[in-house]
Amino acid sequence: MIRFIIGIIVGVLVIIFVVQNIETVDIDLYFWTISANRAVMILIVFAAGCIVGWLTTGIRRLRKRRTNGENK
């Protein structure tokens, strides 16, 4: 339950931060230049970080279950 509450608080803080950063920015990646709203880019990066964290935690739990299952 505490993780859920912390998640809600972090989400609200991210939304406040995004709303305050709505100007357009240029993002250069090698040969591509993307012009996008800073708020959209912040949300994309935040979502990507959440997904990577979720996948990392899931893989770690899966490995731990397999290791514990082999020891029994």
pLDDT in tens, 31-41: 889 898 888 88
d(CA 10, CA 13): 5
Express as a percent the part of the chain with pLDDT over 70: 94
Residues 59/49, Cβ–Cβ less than 8 Å: no
**In the structure, how many helices (H) and strands (E) does the chain have?**
2, 2
Q: Tell me how crowded residue 18 is: count the other CB atoms within 10 A of its CB.
A: 17
Q: How confident is the model at residue 55 (pLDDT cuts 50, 70, 90)?
A: very high
The per-residue pLDDT for 29 is 84
Residues 21/43, Cβ–Cβ less than 8 Å: no
The arithmetic mean of pLDDT across residues 36-62, rounded, is: 87
Look at the pTM and tell me if it is higher than 0.75: no
The per-residue pLDDT for 70 is 64
